[in-house]
Structure 1
């Protein structure tokens, strides 16, 4: 019985390449999953997870004002994902040199702002993409208000909402 060694080597090479691509895909999936729900959010709360997220982006600063009472898990996840999406939108579209993320937590309400010094956009000409639509839907689900201000000097997205009281 004769074995075609050339054919076998090609198949091994293809297999190794496929395994390498699969490993890369798994790494990327883990990275995305971590950003969607970092463990620090569940363990330490919104302030710690947003501090970590912004610290990983050289041009982003994070400022937290107010009390640090934990919010409901659903609200913390929603706020984290909104800020994550808004920062990524700025990085992807605005060409900013600086992004400022600010969160203000009061007793009965919370607000956050994501502001960049990028190129901005004409709100009359540009429709909201999927990212902004997802943020708006999340904010609406919590009966919040979202305002977008944009010019050639940058964009600011301001979100305000009542704090959902945790049931103990």
Structure 2
């Protein structure tokens, strides 16, 4: 910790800041907030998390809905999240608790903040995520395909050096 180094080595603020390549004001701020910094959890990136959400109950309900959908394997896209937020805001309970919610715009900026607050991302299912059932006649189909390739090779007199195998997945 830079503040600890500053206090134990009798260095000036400018000298310590120069050693650690930081601004002197930054070290002064850390020195003044030392108590808060020591009691803060190590994973916290910021001391002040920003402006609190205006409708925490609505966001909690929306997060529960998204979690349920994802647990069932359903895709949840941004437009669907915004539409669900609008429908939740029109519920009688929400209107009773937050009368000013009628004029609230659930914009893309609000959505980005919501996703960040709940550590969500709009992820897409990868092509390799889903397990596809192999056909029951797989061996038969493989043999038919190999026989067809061998027929083409012999009929058209292809050399083996001109043949290759490629596998693709959509990206």
Give the strand-richer structure, 1 or 2.
1
Please tell me whether Structure 1 or Structure 2 has the larger radius of gyration of its CA atoms.
2
TM over 0.5: no
Which structure features the higher share of helix residues? Answer: 2
Q: So what's the TM-score if we normalise by structure 1?
A: 0.24
TM-score, normalisation: structure 2: 0.24
Higher relative contact order (CA 8 A, sep 6+): 1
